[in-house]
Structure 1
Amino acid sequence: MFEAELHLQQHKPCVVSQLAREFDTAIEIAIEELHDELVTFVIELDERLTGVLDRLTDSAQVHHVEGLGDGNFLVTKTSCGAYSAIERNHGILRRPNVVDANSRVYTVLFFRREDLRAMIEAFREIGTVTLGKVAPFEDGGVQLTARQHEVIEHALAAGYFEWPRDVTSDELAAELDISRATLLEHLRKAESKLLTDALDSMPNEPEQSTRSEPELPPK
Structure 2
Amino acid sequence: MKMKKTAISLGALIVLAGGGYFAYDYFAGNHVTIEEVIPADAQAQAGGAAVESSELNGEWTIQPDSKVYFSVTTSKETVNFEGAEVSGSWTVDTGDQTKMSGQGVVDMNAVQSGNGQRDGHIKGAEYLDAAANPEATFTVTSFENFPAEWTEGAAAAFTMNGTLTVKGISKDVKFDAEALYSGGTIKMEGSTVVAFDDFGMKNPHTVMLDTENDVTVQLQLNLDKEQA
Fold match by TM threshold 0.5: no
Larger radius of gyration, structure 1 or 2?
2
Task: Please indicate the TM-score interval, normalised by the length of the shorter structure.
Answer: under 0.3
- Structure with higher strand content: 2
- Structure with higher helix content: 1
Structure 2 length-normalised TM: 0.23
Structure 1 length-normalised TM: 0.23
Question: Which of the pair has the greater relative contact order for Cα pairs under 8 Å at 6+ separation?
Answer: 1
